Amino acid sequence: MDGDDRTRAAKWTRADVEALMAAPFAELVFRAAEVHRENFNPNEVQASRLLSIKTGGCPEDCGYCSQSAKFDTGLKASKLMDRDAVVATAKRAQEEGASRFCMGAAWRSPKTRDMDELCAMVGEVKALGLETCMTLGMLSDAQAKQLSEAGLDYYNHNIDTSPEYYDRIVSTRTFEDRIDTLEKVRASGMKVCCGGIVGMGEAPEDRVGFLLVLANMTPPPESVPINALMPIEGTPLGASEPIGALDFVRMIAVARILMPTSYVRLSAGREDMSEEAQALSFLAGANSIFVGDELLTTNNPGQAKDAALFETLGVTLI
């Protein structure tokens, strides 16, 4: 079916997504680029900075994550960062060109005793003029409301993969638990940031199922991070084979067609991507990245490397 006639409220079928995934590469990227140009300036990319405000010691067993207390990755757990340190980091990120500041904590869910401090962080970072985002695990209705009232713009809670493959990656919470938190976030009035990871051993049909769930949310997430797995020694997925560059670009292109007005973020994995793979991803509709030399606990291209790439591409970070 021709996706050009779709509206955001329409529902995509599995056959629709399968057809896009099977399209000739050049045709798919061309179509995605057309959709992108209809909704965004193709020469602008949103710059976000991600900070781990509470690292390690998480009770979950997400098979890709160095921060799980269940895996021996050599990572030491830390307490919640001091608010002044978080705000100072946000200010530096803004000075270096970031327009959105994302704060992540390695929790199953935040404790009630931490909520006032988290909300204060949101308020002070937002006062700098930055968009704000947090990822803190599962939320209750009351917690989602409290964060929303504090002014949090986005809440990130990834579905990770398809519903069918999910229990191969995580056993300590269900796919439905993820959806439940996303519904609470949406009901609170915050914008949704939701995506997942490819290269975890999933089959092609799981990549279809993953994008199908995202595209059929009502509305789809305003921000869609597509991560390439960065294998971490000591985790169950530490020996995974990387996803091919063209397969990754195909994911970006299909996401752009399915979710025309969402920011599609080229997220984890850029450190290991060639400049050509990144350029193809931007051509296919990616228009958001994380800047800085670290993503929570993994490496990311630094400012100098990114500046050189975007100067070559004629792209402006916003």
Active site residues per annotation: 58, 62, 65, 102, 133, 193, 265
For the record, the structure tokens of 28 come out as 């798919």
199 near 240, Cβ under 8 Å?
A: yes
The residues, any chain, with a CB within 8 Å of residue 15's CB and separated by 6 or more, are 1
Closest by CA to 53, choosing from 124, 1, 159, 2, is 124
CA gap 237, 197 in Å, rounded: 12
- DSSP bridge pairs for 223: 193, 263
State whether the Cα torsion 38-49-161-136 is positive or negative: negative
Pairing of strands 288-291, 263-266: parallel
H-helix segments, 217-294: 245-258, 275-283
The residues, any chain, with a CB within 8 Å of residue 186's CB and separated by 6 or more, are 192
317 near 48, Cβ under 8 Å?
A: no
